Structure 1
Amino acid sequence: MKHYTDTFAHDHLPELSAQPGYSFLDLPQFQRPEMLNCVDRLLDQHIREGRGEQPCLHTFETTWTYQELFEKSNQIAQVLVHDLKLQSGNRVLIRSANSPMMVACWFAILKAGGIVVATMPLLRSKELTTIIDCAEISHAFCAADLEEEMHLVKSDNLQSVCYFGNGQLEALMAKYEPVFDNYHTHSESVALIGFTSGTTGLPKMTAHYHRDILNICEAFPAYSLQPTADDIFIGSPPIGFTFGLGGLVLFPLYYGASTFLIEKPSPDLLLQAIQDHKITICFTAPTAWRVITTKVNDYDISSLRKCVSAGETLPLKVWQDWFDVTGLKIIDGIGATEMLHIFISSNETNMKPGATGLPITGYEAKIVDASGTEITDGTPGRLAVRGITGCKYLNRPEKQAEYVQYGWNLTGDVFRKDEDGYYWFVARGDDMIISSGYNIAAIEVESVLIGHEDVAECAVVGLPDDERGMLVCAYIVLNDTTKASDVLKNRIQHWFKEVAAPYKYPRVIHFVEALPKTETGKIQRFKLKNQD
């Protein structure tokens, strides 16, 4: 079956034998036609059914209706095909903070038959170049206020960069009528590629189909949120994260609701928007819920009916403090870029405070030991998941074999299951550092630090922290140990934020004379973790 002219994504999907088993796809809500472009259900259908004048995207400055998003997406799709010469199956990068134009570009790419690669605005040119080269990205849309770093990207793959917010894309859009015939993709055509940090080597690319995008809208939100067209969503995660994509774009539009986008969200801005715009559903990380709890009495949040936490485990104290102040129950959940969105969670009728929850409709889970045998006595083990979505790494068979075993997705998390079937988070199974909802691979931080002129060796670990969940902590061996000082620590931290995404920088630095190693020279990070 030929999906696209450019077959890169499909050519690099894992062999069928290496892909996970799927379940629940026979349920009515998850059945999709063979020919399917997800934009038709998420956006175009609202226009056909007369909801074009309903609000869709809000900011503090403006509101777009469904009709406006539809027309702008159509015009951008015309620009892609006619001006930028997009071929179906080409990968298109988006570099932007959360904004209406970012959403319009996202839909336009799929309308034109492209594959979306949305990124976070904090990424630097080196990281962007790696993404562009790994996915052989040919086109990019970039917000004008982020163009400086984009200009530093050097890649033979990238054919065109089109900027919006400075008039470039807008001038091209103005040439076209706001109509477009969507590309006829298949249900199993790749729609998006999400990059996920790994603990070693290059970042991993996980692919998701048009079918997957619609099916997650029938999973977590139907199970936990029960959205209606009257809901207004808000949240802090970037749309470049699949957590943010689902909570701030896919879910609200699937149900005909609207969403409030904030380019640089903070607890105060979230609360201000909830008060002034009568927000009903909020997605953010435990760190933000902790801060919001201390400020909530200064605002009227009476419109809020659902609170969602993901990105890192939700401490029971954060849940309890919020409940004590507001009477609202935070819905915890665990998801993964590999699975596209949340697969274990709860709703207000079955919530057990402190537990992550139960497998939502569309997924099943179990705890397994190292051999894949199910553990049924409550002992912690590896979390295995299977359902309507699953891991499909592009061009990484060795990583696919690690993540998918015995037909199940192994998330890298250690959980336990209690006698009632509830899943409780225990720990990450690798060296991933989850800080304020960001996934930060230790090896990524180390690879940046080692480029500093004063650094001879380094090792990075995560330290528990009440505010952020974990802190990035670096143990550094200097070329000249006499230079060790607080001034140098600050200088290294400042330098790091100039050359890599600032959220990855080491908030704690220890200068040491040597790193603990095995006889073969492997750094023993567990010894460093035990020092603090």
Structure 2
Amino acid sequence: MTGSWTGYTLPTSPTGYDELLDGFEWQIPGEYNIAAVALEGDPEAVALRHLPDRGSNAAVSDTVRTVTYGELASASAAVAIRLAADGVTPGDRVAVCLPQCPEQVVLHLAAYRLGAVVVPVSMLLGDASLEHQLTHADVSALFVDEQRWTSADLDELQETVSTVTVRVDADSSPLGGLTRFASDRSGGTTPPMARTAPDDPALVLYTSGTSSEPKGVVQGHQYLLGSMPGYHCWFDRFEPETAEATRAWTPSEWAWAGALFDVVFPTLAVGGTVVSSVRRRGFDPERALDVVETQGVTHAFLPPTALRKLREGAAVSEEQTASLSVIMSGGEPLPNSVATWAEETLDVTVNEAYGQTEANALAGEAQGVYPGTDDGLGRPYPGHDLAVIDDDGTPLPAGEVGEIAVARPDPVVMKGYLDDPHATQAVLGEEWLRTGDLGRFGPDGVLEHLGRADELVVSSGYRISPLEVESVLTDHPSVAAALVRGEPDPERGQRVVASVVLVDEGSGDEVLEDRLRSAVADRLGPHKKPHAVEFVTELPTTRTGKTDRSKD
């Protein structure tokens, strides 16, 4: 049986990969707006379930805020009235710098209602980076967390950008910290839902900058549409009734495309419940388990780094994860050892997925439909035609290494980089979006990700993928995480060097170093073994928690 969703059809109970593909079809409408799709749920059903900031307001610190779909529609309409009264028009850019909270969702939906463009901004950015992104995006308005703004030194910015500080969880109403803003001009008429085309601009999403300076990725409203097949697959939610029962959560910051379009808006689009929790510090394993247990989280997006920290820093009980059935993990490679630990200890299915800010939710596992794999990412999700191509754009046969590319047209592919035509032309052609990632397809159609093309280590003429070497290192029981890079070498051009975090800090010695180097040589060949292994206490990370490969 095939189910119909807004913009596509999908089998309701697929039993294999071929059946999944055969039952899928894009049915992209002439008009598509993220807010309209996100607000289709039952008006009385709970859309948002939020754990307030425990340090911000004692009156609500121990009270869960719930917002129904009907309340979410009313709240976003009230804010849209005020935005329109303040002169926000279609195409204007509205920046949002808030932690996870209902106020952020309301602002997104209010802007989309008007046809405005949202610029999510990380709470973790320093003042200089924050000012750069806001200036580069040429925003008309900024909604910023009160605590974050108090610590900022950006007086000049306020002179050019209309700035509204938001006290998250100021009250327990659906509007929360936006109540005063929305009530200042409450006499206006609710503007109609903007009649946006699927590819009309909706977002400027800044990349996390793991290997270069962040770029502003312009995505249309159809970015949500293009993300939906992957969401159904990795969370195993194909029937409307089961989808509506979803309680989804991620610890990742909502300024990241992976959080917004792997969890927040897809969950709203299927009528489920989004769980949120204010976090102003690093990932806390015990806090994460508390959120899952007390809020009955059924599905979660946990990046590999978060799973690793759970393994290292928390004593997990069956009661804490009893509600949890599926974890999707992505954003960086997921070591097999970490995935196995999560499945056995948390008693969940772990599906790894692959995508980019430029093109989200492209491929991965869906173990409720087809078998998972230890040797690759998984298969392309329905609606996305992927290939491994050579420098000329010609698809390569299975087994050959090339650049992963996405065939166009595809609703999840970006419109381009903001004000950067050169960078856009370098990756976005008439036929393909070049991802900049290396990969190869196996004979069974499974895609293997081999890292960024610009991160290859070329040693004595051999092209070495850092991810291949890292995968071997993290399979060793003593290794918690690894980062492999190339260093200049006068004879080889480059040599392979590894930084390794151990499960038991302080246990690194020459014997273990030799064993790790031998493990790589045995599995991948002696030309790929690290010249040196450095034992470190932690790896550098980006604001999204991914390993930062731009730092040595």
Instruction: Give me the whole-angstrom Cα distance separating, in 2, the residues matched to 1:464 and 1:38.
Output: 42
Partner letter of residue 423 of structure 1? L
Match of 2:317 among 275, 298, 316: 298
Structure 1 counterpart of 2:219, from 171, 184, 208: 208
2:288 paired residue number: 270
Q: Is the CA contact 1:271–1:299 (under 8 Å) kept in the aligned structure 2?
A: no
- TM-score (structure 2 length as normaliser): 0.70
Deviates more, 1:269-278 or 1:167-176: 167-176
Which residue does 1:245 correspond to in 2?
260
1:229 aligned to which of 234, 241, 244: 244
CA change 1:370–1:465 in 2 (3 A) is farther
Alpha-carbon contact 2:329-2:353 (below 8 Å) kept: yes
Per the alignment, residue 280 of structure 1 pairs with 298
Counterpart CA distance in 2 for 1:77 and 1:462 is: 53
Question: Which residue pairs with 1:418 in the alignment?
Answer: 442
CA distance in 2, matches of 1:313, 1:200: 15
**Are the counterparts in 2 of residues 124 and 149 from structure 1 also a CA contact under 8 Å?**
no
**Which residue of structure 2 lines up, in the alignment, with residue 36 of structure 1?**
32
Q: Which residue number corresponds to residue 475 of structure 2? A: none
The alignment's C-alpha RMSD in Å is 3.5
Partner SS, residue 384 of structure 1? strand
Partner Cα distance (1:504, 1:130) in 2: 22
2:419 to 377, 395, 400: 395
Question: Are the equivalent residues in 2 in contact too, given 1:415–1:425 (CA < 8 A)?
Answer: yes
1:331 — aligned with what? Answer: 351
How far off is 1:462 after superposition?
9.8
Q: d(CA) in 2 for partners of 1:347 and 1:281? A: 13
Confirm or deny: 8 A CA contact 1:164 1:170 kept in the other structure. Answer: no
- Cα separation, 2, equivalents of 1:406 and 1:199: 27
Q: How does 1:50-65 map onto structure 2 within 5 Å?
A: 51-60=42-51, 61-65=64-68
Give how far 1:81 is off.
1.1
Per-residue Cα deviation, 1:283-336 (whole angstroms, up to 9, x for no partner)? 011111123235363352121111100110111111122223234231101110
Q: 1:126 aligns with which of 125, 128, 141?
A: 128
Contact 2:404 2:434 in 1 (8 A): yes
Matches within 5 A, 1:28-427: 30-43=26-39, 45-46=40-41, 51-60=42-51, 61-82=64-85, 84-152=86-154, 154-155=156-157, 158-165=160-167, 169-175=178-184, 176=186, 179-197=190-208, 203-217=214-228, 219-227=229-237, 228-264=243-279, 265-294=283-312, 295=314, 297-300=316-319, 301-339=321-359, 341-348=360-367, 349-386=370-407, 387-391=410-414, 392-405=416-429, 407-427=431-451
> TM-score normalised to the size of structure 1?
0.72
**Which letter does structure 2 place at the counterpart of 1:235?**
T
Per-residue displacement from partner, 1:37-67 (whole Å, max 9, x unpaired)?
A: 2211211x33xxxx22211111223222222
By how many angstroms is 1:376 displaced? Answer: 1.4
Q: Give the AA of the match of 2:356.
A: A
| TM-aligned CA deviation for residue 246 of structure 1 | 1.5
SS of 1:388's partner is coil
Q: Could you say what secondary structure the match of 1:79 adopts? A: helix
| Secondary structure in structure 2 of the residue aligned to 1:332 | strand
Question: CA offset at residue 412 of structure 1?
Answer: 1.5
Map Cα deviations across residues 384-431 of structure 1 (whole Å, 9 max, x no partner).
122332232232121112222462112121212111010112222225
* Distance in 2 (alpha carbons) for counterparts of 1:163 and 1:462: 46
- What is the SS of the residue equivalent to 1:123? coil
- The worse-fitting range, judged by mean Cα deviation, of 130-139 and 263-272 is 263-272
Q: How many positions carry a matched residue from both structures?
A: 426
CA distance in 1, matches of 2:103, 2:72: 9
Quick check: 2:166–2:178 contact (8 Å CA) kept in 1? yes
* Structure 2 CA distance for partners of 1:248 and 1:200, relative to 1, 3 Å: closer
Deviation at 1:73, TM superposition (A): 1.0
SS where residue 363 of structure 1 aligns? coil
**Structure 2 residue ranges without an equivalent (≥5):** 1-21, 52-63, 171-176, 238-242, 457-465, 471-482, 486-495, 504-539
Alignment partners' CA distance in 1, 2:436 and 2:24: 31
Amino acid corresponding to residue 105 of structure 2 in structure 1? V
- 1:441-520 equivalences under 5 Å are 464-466=499-501
- C-alpha distance in 2 between matches for 1:157 and 1:399: 31
| Secondary structure, aligned partner of 1:416 | strand
Kindly indicate whether the alpha-carbon contact (under 8 Å) linking 1:137 and 1:158 is maintained by their aligned counterparts in 2: no
Cα distance in 2, alignment partners of residues 215 and 190 from structure 1:
14
- Offset of 1:90 from its aligned partner? 0.6
Percentage of matched positions with identical amino acids:
22
Residue 150 and residue 34 in structure 1: after superposition, are their counterparts in 2 closer, same or farther (change >3 A)?
farther
| Letter of the 2:379 counterpart | L
3-state SS of 2:79 partner: helix
Letter in 1 for 2:125: L
| Counterpart residue type for residue 219 of structure 2 | H
Following the alignment from structure 2 to structure 1, what is the Cα–Cα distance between the partners of residues 500 and 50?
Answer: 33
